[in-house]
Amino acid sequence: MLRIVLFVLTNLAVMLLLTIVVKLTGIDVYTQREGGINLQGLLIMSAVMGMGGSFISLAMSKWMAKRSVGAEVITQPRNESEAWLLDTVRRQAEKAGIGMPEVAIYDGPEMNAFATGMSKNNSLVAVSTGLLQSMNRAEVEAVLGHEISHIANGDMVTMTLIQGVLNTFVIFFARVLGTLIDRAISGNREGGGGFAYFGIVIVLQIALGFLASLIVMWFSRWREFRADAGGAHLAGKQSMIAALERLAGNHGENTLPKAIQAFGISGEGGIARLLMSHPPIPERVAALRAAA
């Protein structure tokens, strides 16, 4: 689940920073008018901040993923295993019609892998040492096919667009509701001018941002089924099923930072299904078995 949590948390951090910048620079004055809110100006500002924050998060995703896990990009294979890894990714990328991704290995005992990047031709595929040590090559190839399919399906760009639209509504409604609450508390008919209003907007933006993340997680779960199907196409249906069943017994400590756990093929969803970035592995296996 590494890819999604990193993206969501980075997005929230960028949005919070943009909110502070807008307040300190006074840009949000254009969202106010005499007697109330300038809804048109607010919507334009919300769209610029929302889409901008989302695409900034996307642009940072590959760099942050590599830094977070200490992934070492393979430039020149040092052994037969690394050469096989590069060759397999290259072959799958050609079959999927995308540019050759960067390939990296990171040190971690759990079986996991992730892919991220700004576009189909500017991406990264990374695997843990635990995955390479615990799976046979047919299973590793299926996992790589799953990650290559994420890239070929344009999942990160689609996620960015969804997040950008959600950001827009979060910013817009946080300020509308913030103005109404500020008016009710202060008795000021106009509202929206003081630091109390700014504090209310920050709290509302965080709360609404959390609700918006539920939609992002729903999309993440849906796209996992598509990536599984892609992995089955690239590496074989039985290999993909075998890899998922192996992951179901993945009891190694997940060393991926919490901020990027939604990027991995082996995702822990948390206590509530609504917060899961990945559907349960039995459901994924059942979907593959039922596929023609």
Is 147 one of the catalytic residues? yes
- Residue environment code for 5-39, b if the CB has 16+ CB neighbours within 10 A, otherwise e: bbbbbbbbebbeebbeebeeeeebeebbeeeebee
User: How far does the chain reach from its first CA to its final CA, in angstroms?
Assistant: 27
d(CA 230, CA 145): 7
d(CA 232, CA 241): 8
Strand order in the sheet with 102-106: 72-73, 102-106, 122-128, 113-119
d(CA 13, CA 144): 30
What would the two tokens of residue 118 be?
A: 């700004």
d(CA 259, CA 91): 31
| The dihedral formed by the CA atoms of 206, 169, 39 and 51, expressed in degrees to the nearest 10 | 100
> Which of 147, 224, 253, 268 does the annotation list as catalytic?
147
d(CA 279, CA 285): 10
State the catalytic residues: 147
